[in-house]
Amino acid sequence: MQRPAAFVPSNAPLQLLLTQHLLVSQQKSRMMKACKDATITIYVKEGKDISPMDHDGLADPFCEVHINGKKKGKTSVCKNTLTPKWSPPAEFSFDVADLISGDQVAESIEIKVNKSRMV
């Protein structure tokens, strides 16, 4: 099949794609620079509806904080309770840069309580 004489292949879609990619790369770069010195602090105050884990119907709950699959901290253990309270609240601070892995930004922070999970 012959093309009409007026048909000229266009690089416009490719140029648009490359321009969009460049803009996204620049946005990521600016975000990473802005996050370089930023800090996030998580406070763990209490737990509710913890599943019984011991033979007496209670549990010894604790909470772990993981960022990008790496453990950042753990609360103390609250013995024999299903409603743990940490007073003062357990405090975990980390650099926002920890949320960035290569050119990927973490979409969630995972917090585990015993074998239960909160996201």
| pLDDT score, position 39 | 80
- Walk me through the domains of the chain, giving residue ranges and CATH numbers: 37-118 (2.60.40.150)
What stretch of H or E contains 113?
strand 110-113
Query: Whole-model pTM?
Result: 0.57
Q: Please give the pLDDT value at position 83.
A: 93
The C-alpha angle 47, 52, 53, rounded to 5 degrees, equals 110
Separation between Cα atoms, residue 45 and residue 53, nearest integer Å: 21
Alpha helices in the chain (DSSP H): 12-35
- The confidence band for 56, taking pLDDT boundaries of 50, 70 and 90, is very high
pLDDT tens digits, one per residue of 81-98:
999 999 988 888 888 777
Indicate the residue type of 19: T
Q: Does the pLDDT of residue 119 top 50, yes or no? A: no
Q: At 44, list the tokens.
A: 């763990």
| Average pLDDT of the segment spanning 6-25 | 61
Q: The tokens of 8 are what?
A: 């000229």
Residue 65 above 80 pLDDT? yes
Instruction: Report yes or no: 91 and 76 within 8 Å, Cβ to Cβ.
Output: no
In this structure, what token pair is assigned to residue 34? 């802005």
User: E strand or H helix at 85, and its extent?
Assistant: strand 85-95
